[in-house]
Amino acid sequence: MEAAEDRTTLLIDTAVLAAVIILENGGETFRAEETASRICSAAGKPDAEVLAFPTGVIITVKEENGHNASSVVRVKKRSINLFRVERTNSYSRSYESDRLSLLELKDKLESLRRSPTSSKGVVALAAALSSAMFTLLFEPTLEPHVLFDLGVTFLCTFFAEYVCIASKLKNSYQFTVTFFGSALMALIAVLATGLAGIGNLSCIIIGAITPLLPGISLTNAIRDTVTGDILSGTVRLAETLLIAVAIAGGVGVVLAGYMGLAGRFGAIGGML
């Protein structure tokens, strides 16, 4: 009896952990549900019920004595780490095909959850390089000032990512941080082009905000909706819109101020 109960507890803990890792790291909701259900089925509990949404997971498993055992876990931090999603997927499949025991699976998932992520500097550097490339992509022509644009984009993204986006604040105050991050980017871009008197401000800003764009939430939102998970789909869609508004607002505030000043002094018009 004891052993059966322990096993059910272990099973629920493992299944919940797998679902939580997927949700925390930018996986789709249906993937989290599917993975948890697969683990339960493989453990001989095909009637387990899993309900996942972007901020939490609920699992209920029927025990041998007829009682229901369940677990509710709140997903607090959400970021994007597709490596962990992919590993969780492959570990659960190994468990299904009996190449891992339940205990091994749980250990692997726990160490995966604690696995080191890239440092703040590396993330900021990758973001900066990526947005510099996007600036180059959006430039209409290839003239010498493109190099200046590249440099400025690199600087503003690196700085903004390092200060705001890669900070721990991102998980809890995502909209605020996105707003101030994009405002900071726009500010650096405006200052650099205004002082140097050359450069294409639009291209710099578009390149700089590209890594912030909520492309992943949007794709996941539509995917969740299409697979019938309308609750998660709606939640993620709202998140997408809010992030887009935060970016547009952050950049817009700075540009509005800049254009107001430009109108007053009449000297820096025609930059946009």
Binding region for other proteins (CB under 8 A) out of 59-67, 70-78, 116-124, 170-178: 116-124
Q: Binding of other proteins at residue 45 (CB under 8 A)? A: no
Q: How far is the CB of 239 from other proteins (least distance, A)?
A: 14
Among 130, 169, 175, 231, binds other proteins (CB under 8 A): 130
Among 120, 138, 145, 162, binds other proteins (CB under 8 A): 138
Footprint (CB under 8 A) of other proteins, residues 22-41: 26-28, 31
Q: How many chain residues interact with other proteins (CB under 8 A)? A: 59
Binding region for other proteins (CB under 8 A) out of 2-10, 58-66, 70-78, 82-90: 82-90
Footprint (CB under 8 A) of other proteins, residues 170-199: none
Binding region for other proteins (CB under 8 A) out of 5-13, 63-71, 93-101, 173-181: 93-101
DSSP for 80-147, written as a single string: --HHHHHHHHHHHHHHHTTSS-HHHHHHHHHHHHHPPPPPHHHHHHHHHHHHHHHHHHH-SS--THHH
Among 72, 103, 230, 256, binds other proteins (CB under 8 A): 256
The residues binding other proteins (CB under 8 A) are 26-28, 31, 80-86, 89-91, 93-94, 96-97, 99, 117-118, 122-123, 126-127, 129-130, 133-134, 136-138, 142, 202, 205-206, 209-211, 213, 215-216, 218-219, 221-223, 225-227, 244, 247-248, 251-252, 255-256, 259, 272
